[in-house]
């Protein structure tokens, strides 16, 4: 019993933008292949010569590399079934279309765009506005005459007029569509390039793709694919249609995720401070659920646990809150070295080239940050003391008021002035010892110290860490300044 090697393909068009929906499709294609020991193929679909975008292919490579979706075959690394760029395969498609013409399964169509447009506008809304099959039964001599006269043409597939077509989808089950709903679709465009649908079928067959994985917006065109496979007598692949990713609109409704819902491009999310592995983990769970009750997965763990029967049928709303939670989880799981390295650009945004006690700064930030982009705002107070009112010193729970805050600050300043070493440990020891000596609760001493050191009610980290980062000189300056404020 030898199973056929599973092969999936990611077939993006180089549009210059990697939508998370596309990325999720790529992810599932990768996971389906890898979970079954198969191969994942990258194919660039650039048959639309009018929409070519400079550098767009590099964006595809970069994105796949950042998230770790390493393909086994593709334009950059080659493979047995290349080339892997459709524009380089241009000559492959026409002979297949001509074969269908010879066999009476397709035909030349000479209709002008103008005529086709009039067809669409002719009947009112709601009517089936498809092609009227004007050229389907043109006399042979007429076809030859028009061809000889170099009349521009397209090649269309003859759809059955009667009956219905049924196909199986691994997610949605058995789906039947009446053939009369199907238009005689164009296979070869007048510029000689194949249409997306046609090239897709030819390439998938030639590249031995076993699982055709794509968004379920293709569900209703799948019968056309099937009919094409049948016309050639080719084996039909396993279809895996994925539920759509939706975005929430302002009015509470949902629709296919698009730019108006916020950042929907991979690059946008990265720019906003999300980690590549966060994005992978989150979108893996949008439309798929593991057998066990668990949410945190690395890419290789996903490949281990993925299975098609866990794919959901219903559309999923993209939730930025949950994505942010995932990001926080990944940030907290980082080693301190990695965290510092990743946060350094944001540190430098505030401090320039200055050197601070990065480990202490990291220790207070890492459990609090959910996106790296939050960092500059969170640490700005360390660079410059904000203006703050004296009543910040008053806190009921810590039992502080204007009078005892001044006392606390006074005591703290004299104790800290004596301090030899300026570290978290020595500061901790000194201030805790002082509170004990003064017979006040820790909060009574530390609240005013923190307020004077930070100038803010809410800070990342406590008084001790903040003093440690500030250093002796700046700390004492800020504490004295606070004391002045209380005396005034």
Partner RNA sequence: GGCCCGGUGGUCAAGCGGUUAAGACACCGCCCUUUCACGGCGGUUUCACGAGUUCGAAUCUCGUCCGGGUCACCA
Q: Which of the residues are catalytic? A: 259
- Helix then strand then coil, in percent of the chain rounded to 5, is 50, 15, 35
Interface with RNA (CB under 7 A), residue from 66, 179, 263, 312: 312
The stretch among 60-68, 132-140, 174-182, 261-269 that binds RNA (CB under 7 A) is 174-182
Interface with RNA (CB under 7 A), residue from 259, 260, 313, 383: 313
Interface with RNA (CB under 7 A), residue from 58, 168, 319, 403: 319
According to the binding rule CB under 7 A, does residue 293 interact with RNA?
yes
Q: Where are the alpha helices (DSSP H) in 165-209?
A: 196-206
Closest Cα partner for 32 from 203, 172, 209, 173? 209
Interface with RNA (CB under 7 A), residue from 5, 147, 289, 341: 289
Are the beta carbons of 199 and 47 closer than 8 angstroms? Answer: yes
- Cα separation, 209 vs 229, in Å, equals 13
According to the binding rule CB under 7 A, does residue 315 interact with RNA?
yes
Task: Identify residues 82-101 at the interface with RNA (CB under 7 A).
Answer: none
The stretch among 67-75, 173-181, 201-209, 477-485 that binds RNA (CB under 7 A) is 173-181
The torsion of the CA quartet 280, 284, 286, 290, rounded to 10 degrees, works out to -150
- Cα separation, 45 vs 147, in Å, equals 29
CA distances from 314 to 218, 219, 238, 319, 484 (A): 15, 13, 20, 15, 63
The stretch among 77-85, 182-190, 201-209, 381-389 that binds RNA (CB under 7 A) is 182-190
Interface with RNA (CB under 7 A), residue from 90, 305, 368, 472: 368
- Cα separation, 407 vs 378, in Å, equals 29
Q: Which is nearer to RNA, 299 or 446 (CB)?
A: 446
Minimum CB separation from RNA for residue 457, in Å? 5
Q: Which is nearer to RNA, 12 or 237 (CB)?
A: 12
Q: Which is nearer to RNA, 38 or 279 (CB)?
A: 279
Interface with RNA (CB under 7 A), residue from 157, 165, 197, 210: 197
The torsion of the CA quartet 295, 301, 305, 310, rounded to 10 degrees, works out to 40
The torsion of the CA quartet 98, 100, 103, 109, rounded to 10 degrees, works out to -70
According to the binding rule CB under 7 A, does residue 122 interact with RNA?
no
Minimum CB separation from RNA for residue 18, in Å? 12
Which structure tokens are listed for 297?
Answer: 């997965």
Q: Which is nearer to RNA, 32 or 38 (CB)?
A: 32
Rg of the chain taking only CA atoms, in angstroms:
32
Minimum CB separation from RNA for residue 183, in Å? 6
The stretch among 136-144, 242-250, 351-359, 471-479 that binds RNA (CB under 7 A) is 242-250
Closest Cα partner for 411 from 428, 433, 391, 390? 433
According to the binding rule CB under 7 A, does residue 270 interact with RNA?
no
According to the binding rule CB under 7 A, does residue 218 interact with RNA?
yes
- Cα separation, 405 vs 482, in Å, equals 9
According to the binding rule CB under 7 A, does residue 355 interact with RNA?
no
According to the binding rule CB under 7 A, does residue 479 interact with RNA?
no
Contacts of 413 (CB under 8 A, 6+ apart): 476, 479, 480, 483
The position carrying tokens 């030898």 is 2
Closest Cα partner for 93 from 147, 154, 41, 29? 154
Q: How many chain residues bind RNA (CB under 7 A)?
A: 91
Are the beta carbons of 431 and 465 closer than 8 angstroms? Answer: no
According to the binding rule CB under 7 A, does residue 269 interact with RNA?
no
Minimum CB separation from RNA for residue 353, in Å? 27
State the DSSP code for 167: E
Minimum CB separation from RNA for residue 316, in Å? 3
Interface with RNA (CB under 7 A), residue from 99, 151, 220, 307: 220
SS3 45: coil
Task: Identify residues 415-474 at the interface with RNA (CB under 7 A).
Answer: 428, 441-443, 446-447, 450, 457-465
Task: Identify residues 393-412 at the interface with RNA (CB under 7 A).
Answer: 397-398
The stretch among 46-54, 93-101, 132-140, 405-413 that binds RNA (CB under 7 A) is 46-54
**The sheet that has 39-42: what strands, in order across it?**
39-42, 7-10, 211-215, 238-242, 164-169, 173-178
According to the binding rule CB under 7 A, does residue 190 interact with RNA?
yes
According to the binding rule CB under 7 A, does residue 246 interact with RNA?
yes
The stretch among 58-66, 121-129, 225-233, 386-394 that binds RNA (CB under 7 A) is 121-129
According to the binding rule CB under 7 A, does residue 47 interact with RNA?
yes
């Amino acid at each position: 019993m030898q199973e056929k090697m599973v092969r999936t393909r990611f077939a993006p068009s180089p549009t210059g933008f990697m939508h998370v929906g596309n990325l999720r499709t790529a992810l599932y294609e990768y996971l389906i292949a890898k979970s079954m020991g198969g191969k994942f193929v990258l194919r660039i679909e650039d048959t639309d010569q009018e929409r070519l975008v400079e550098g767009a292919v590099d964006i595809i490579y970069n994105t796949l590399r950042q998230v770790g979706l390493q393909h086994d075959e593709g334009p950059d690394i080659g493979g047995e079934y290349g080339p892997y760029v459709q524009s380089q395969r241009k000559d492959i498609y026409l002979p297949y279309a001509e074969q269908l013409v010879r066999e009476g399964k397709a035909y030349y169509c000479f209709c002008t765009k103008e005529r086709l447009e009039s067809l669409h506008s002719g009947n009112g809304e709601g009517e089936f506005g498809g092609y009227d099959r004007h050229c389907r039964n043109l006399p042979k001599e007429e076809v030859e005459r028009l061809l000889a006269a170099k009349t521009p043409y397209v090649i269309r597939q003859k759809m059955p007029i009667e009956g219905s077509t049924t196909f199986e989808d691994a997610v949605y089950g058995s789906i039947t569509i009446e053939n009369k709903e199907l238009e005689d679709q164009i296979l070869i465009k007048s510029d000689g390039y194949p249409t997306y649908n046609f090239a897709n079928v030819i390439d998938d067959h030639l590249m031995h793709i076993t699982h055709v994985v794509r968004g379920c917006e293709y569900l209703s065109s799948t019968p056309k694919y099937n009919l094409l496979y049948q016309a050639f007598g080719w084996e039909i692949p396993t279809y895996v249609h994925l539920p759509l990713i939706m975005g929430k609109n302002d009015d509470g409704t949902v629709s296919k995720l698009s730019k108006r819902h916020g950042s929907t491009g991979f690059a946008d999310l990265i720019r906003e401070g999300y980690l590549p592995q966060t994005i992978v983990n989150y979108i893996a769970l949008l439309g798929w659920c593991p057998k066990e009750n668990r949410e945190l997965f690395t890419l290789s763990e996903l490949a281990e646990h993925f299975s098609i029967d866990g794919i959901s049928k219903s559309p999923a709303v993209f939730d930025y809150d949950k994505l942010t939670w995932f990001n926080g989880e990944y940030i907290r799981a980082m080693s301190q070295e990695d965290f510092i390295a990743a946060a350094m650009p944001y540190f430098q945004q505030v401090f320039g080239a200055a050197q601070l006690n990065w480990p202490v700064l990291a220790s207070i930030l890492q459990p609090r940050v959910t996106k790296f982009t939050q960092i500059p705002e969170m640490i700005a107070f360390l660079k410059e003391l904000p203006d703050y009112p004296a009543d910040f010193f008053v806190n009921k729970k810590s039992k502080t008021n204007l009078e005892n805050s001044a006392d606390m600050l006074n005591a703290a300043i004299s104790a800290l002035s004596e301090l030899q070493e300026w570290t978290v440990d020595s500061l901790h020891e000194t201030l805790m010892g002082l509170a004990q000596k003064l017979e006040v609760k820790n909060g009574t001493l530390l609240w005013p110290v923190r307020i004077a050191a930070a100038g803010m009610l809410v800070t990342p980290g406590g008084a001790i860490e903040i003093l440690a980062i500030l250093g002796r000189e700046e700390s004492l300056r800020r504490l004295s300044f606070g004391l002045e404020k209380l005396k005034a």
